[in-house]
Amino acid sequence: MHHANRNPQPFLQARPGHAWAAPLLALSLWLPVGAALAQPAAAPAADAVVASGPAGGVTAAQLEAAVNELVPERERETFWATPASVHRFARSLYVQHALAAQARQARLDQTPEGAALMALRQEQALMELSLRRAVSGVLPDDEALKRYARSEYQAKPDRYTQPEEVRARHILLAVAKDGSDDDAVKARAQALRAQVLKGADFAKLAAENSTDKTNAERGGELGFFARGKMVKSFEDAAFGLAKPGDVSEPVRTPFGYHIIQLEERKAARLKPFDEVYPLIREEVRNTVTARERGRVWEAEDRNAQVQEPALQAVMGHHVKLIPLSGGAKH
């Protein structure tokens, strides 16, 4: 189905040639390791201490502020439901607090290096706040976002369609690199297929014979897969099976000979709008954010004038050869 190229909302215009990003912190703390779900509890007091040690404590307010800053919004629900992740995060905030306290006690913030670093961090923080303010002024409201998402969903159904999938088992019989046993391996695969057709249990034969040890113990179970996920000859054979229980002829791939049994088939389906709306919303917000941050950055970049003599003098302290236009200064 052909749809005219439409852009129903002005907030999705062409993006600038590049987007700028400047992360303020490099705190890689959150690695989910399994979630434990619980009923939401009453919010704790902002000054409740969630982690403490000789250097003092980290409050609930500080923890929540750090999470809101460092954990992407779409991942926060899972984060808060994963105790190990929250514990590591809280402990890391305490370590950061303790090391900062040590630096202050040693008056490192008053050294030239410390003062310069703190001034740089403050500038970066203020710059980030300025960029966020600019972005907040152009982000579409929820109503406009939903209108755009609905039009996008209706105009591009292929993008939001879950493709046809099959669930299958296989038995792989590896072939020697030089192919010297090709005929013998193919004959063995045909013999195994004949056993299945006579009523032998495919999963049991896979466990006993398959050289694909990643799934042999599971009876050759591969789970669901769509087209484009497997070697083409394998994929064509699997999708060519008509009904659950059907078994393919031996299929040759670079790995050897396979026989495949179809377990289940899922027809292609258009995902419900409510399922894809969060994805479209995030894409729009990311697009608008990148565009506006790039626009603001480039506008100020055009105002920047490099003072060449002073810059060359600074460079002279750090390099022996200063490149000049058309050559080098020796």
Q: Is the pLDDT of residue 162 over 90?
A: yes
Q: Is the pLDDT of residue 35 over 50?
A: no
Q: Is the pLDDT of residue 322 over 60?
A: no
330 contacts: CB under 8 Å, gap ≥ 6: 321
* Whether 36 contacts 83, CB under 8 Å: yes
pLDDT at 257: 98
- When pLDDT is averaged across residues 173-191 and rounded to a whole number, the result is 96
Band of the pLDDT at 281, cuts 50, 70, 90?
A: very high
In order of 35, 82, 86, 89, 260, the CA distances from 29 in angstroms are 16, 13, 9, 6, 43
* Whether 161 contacts 268, CB under 8 Å: yes
User: For 164-267, which CATH class?
Assistant: alpha beta
Q: Is the pLDDT of residue 215 over 60?
A: yes
Q: Is the pLDDT of residue 324 over 70?
A: no
- When pLDDT is averaged across residues 145-170 and rounded to a whole number, the result is 96
Could you tell me the residue ranges of all domains in the chain?
A: 49-138, 164-267, 289-329
pLDDT, tens only, 3-30: 443 343 433 443 433 333 333 333 434 4
pLDDT at 155: 96
170 contacts: CB under 8 Å, gap ≥ 6: 206, 210, 212, 220, 222, 234, 258, 259, 260, 261
pLDDT at 286: 93
Q: Is the pLDDT of residue 201 over 90?
A: yes
Helices and strands, number each (H, E), in the chain? 10, 10
pLDDT, tens only, 74-110: 899 999 999 999 999 999 999 999 999 999 999 999 9
Q: Is the pLDDT of residue 134 over 80?
A: yes
Band of the pLDDT at 323, cuts 50, 70, 90?
A: low
Average pLDDT of the chain is 87
The mean-pLDDT minimum among 21-30, 52-61, 64-73, 120-129 falls in 21-30
Which residue has better confidence, 328 or 134? Answer: 134
How far is it, in rounded angstroms, from Cα 50 to Cα 143?
A: 38
Which residue has better confidence, 152 or 8? Answer: 152
